[in-house]
């Protein structure tokens, strides 16, 4: 059943949610970029469509403690260094980022299960927010994502006068039951917004990318294409595209010795870096062309090969907005797919 709350009372909703569990919302930081941050009284939802970095940070942090060791003579003592976890609510996730969670799940929750990621997923209640006005850099529809019907434990639609709220799962029903001030109604307003958003999405310039050249079984056809050289020659190898991507999951494990304890932690890594996967025998991908090709082949071919044809991209558009040389997955698709750069 659809519920609603007047837009003027959204702070009341946030205060109630924060009173039950830690609440994260997308809000503008001092630099003017939107990010998911713990809610505090007076904090407003960002007016931006997407956060600068995706919501994956809440499940797969950029830096994460794994375990510590204390060595005394020949004795090694293991020390718990993980931050204690608590239930939390993640509000305002867009449909593209939610699909990103599904891709991360397929990696971290398959055997052997990553218990660090699994625990965060279990502690979270995800409240999505439908897009109100998709931007020209959005292309989620190419991957079967509906920005007007975002899913999650609870789906929300922000209309001119209300926030419409619909529970989708048991977690969502439990959360809704704890908010008795939500009023019944809002379905007509939510439906009107769905139709308006879908109409906008259908007119977006990147709405009809031809992905037929990509997918399972296309490695041999694409791997040695001469276009990779031209596409990659301006790449800086900065890794920006991987850090803003909702689906990138590569990480490095490092250790730091403070003189008393050895702390083992993991941190995000990027296939664009020259030392990525470097071993004693050297770098398996010594050129930027090879590293560039690896990133896009993984999204468009290797991941689909191993996941029933599903692509490793969700069309959020962050890489289009953030790449300093304006090279992105859309240009790769158009060039190798025959539509030109």
What was the pLDDT predicted at 1?
Answer: 87
* Three-state DSSP string of 134-188: CCCCCCHHHHCCCCCCCCCCEEEEECCCEEEEEECCHHHHHHHHCCCCCEECCHH
Provide the 3-class DSSP secondary structure of residue 102.
helix
263-300, pLDDT tens digit by residue?
999 999 999 998 888 776 777 888 999 999 999 999 99
Share above pLDDT 90 across residues of the chain, in percent, rounded to a whole number: 87
Instruction: Report the distance separating Cα 329 and Cα 339, nearest Å.
Output: 13
For residue 282, the SS3 value is strand
The band of 6, judged by pLDDT with boundaries at 50, 70 and 90, is very high
Taking only the tens place, the pLDDT of each residue in 32-53 is 899 999 999 999 999 999 999 9
**pLDDT-based confidence at 340, cuts 50/70/90?**
low
- Of residues 145 and 79, which shows the higher confidence score? 145
Query: What is the pairing mode between strands 183-184 and 162-167?
Result: unpaired
Do residues 314 and 246 make contact, with C-beta atoms less than 8 angstroms apart? yes
The contacts of residue 207 (CB under 8 Å, 6+ apart) are 139, 141, 142, 201
What is the predicted pLDDT for the residue at 339?
A: 65
Average pLDDT, the chain: 94
pLDDT digits 0-9 by tens, 146-172: 999 999 999 999 999 999 999 999 999
Query: Beta strands of the chain (E only): which ranges?
Result: 2-6, 22-28, 34-38, 63-72, 75-79, 88-93, 124-129, 154-158, 162-167, 183-184, 251-257, 262-268
Q: Which residue matches tokens 């991941």?
A: 303
Q: For the chain, give every domain's residue range.
A: 2-53+84-202, 219-249+273-337
The token duo for 111 is 């055997």
Q: Mean pLDDT throughout 92-103?
A: 98
* Percent of the residues in the chain that have a pLDDT greater than 70, as a whole number: 99
- Band (pLDDT 50/70/90 cuts) for residue 91 is very high
pLDDT in tens, 188-214: 999 999 999 999 999 999 999 999 999
Q: Would you say 190 and 164 are in contact if contact means Cβ atoms under 8 Å apart?
A: yes
For the whole model, what pTM was predicted?
A: 0.93
Q: Tell me what pLDDT residue 252 has.
A: 94
- Whole-number Cα distances in Å, 310 to 103, 128, 147: 9, 22, 18
End-to-end CA distance of the chain: 46
Q: Is the pLDDT of residue 70 over 80?
A: yes
Query: What pLDDT score does 275 carry?
Result: 83
Q: Which helix (H) or strand (E) element contains residue 239?
A: none
């Amino acid at each position: 059943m659809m519920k609603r709350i007047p837009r003027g009372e959204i702070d009341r909703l946030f205060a109630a949610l924060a009173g039950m569990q830690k609440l994260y919302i997308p809000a503008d930081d001092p630099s003017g970029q939107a990010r998911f941050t713990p809610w505090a009284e007076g904090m407003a939802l960002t007016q931006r469509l997407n956060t600068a970095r995706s919501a994956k940070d809440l499940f797969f942090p950029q830096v994460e403690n794994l375990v510590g060791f204390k060595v005394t003579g020949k004795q090694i003592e293991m020390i718990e260094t993980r931050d204690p976890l608590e239930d939390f609510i993640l509000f305002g996730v867009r449909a593209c980022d939610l699909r990103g969670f599904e891709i991360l799940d397929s990696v971290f929750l398959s055997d052997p299960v990553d218990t660090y990621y699994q625990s965060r997923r279990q502690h979270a209640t995800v409240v999505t927010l439908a897009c109100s006005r998709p931007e020209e850099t959005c292309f989620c529809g190419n991957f079967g994502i509906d920005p007007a019907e975002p899913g999650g434990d609870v789906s929300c639609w922000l209309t001119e006068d209300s926030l419409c709220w619909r529970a989708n799962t048991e977690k969502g029903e439990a959360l809704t039951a704890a908010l008795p001030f939500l009023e019944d109604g809002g379905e007509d307003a939510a439906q009107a917004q769905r139709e308006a958003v879908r109409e906008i999405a259908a007119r977006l310039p990147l709405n009809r990318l031809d992905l037929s050249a990509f997918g399972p079984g296309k490695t041999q056809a694409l791997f040695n294409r001469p276009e990779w050289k031209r596409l990659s020659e301006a790449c800086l190898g900065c890794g920006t595209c991987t850090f803003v991507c909702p689906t990138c999951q590569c990480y490095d494990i490092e250790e730091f010795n403070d003189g008393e304890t050895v702390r083992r932690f993991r941190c995000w890594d990027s296939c664009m870096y020259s030392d990525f996967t470097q071993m004693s025998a050297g770098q398996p991908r010594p050129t930027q062309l090879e590293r560039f090709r690896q990133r896009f082949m993984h999204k468009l071919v290797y991941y689909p090969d191993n996941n029933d044809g599903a692509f490793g991209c969700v069309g959020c558009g962050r890489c289009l907005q953030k790449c300093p040389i304006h090279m992105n997955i859309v240009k790769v698709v158009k060039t190798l797919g025959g539509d030109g750069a």
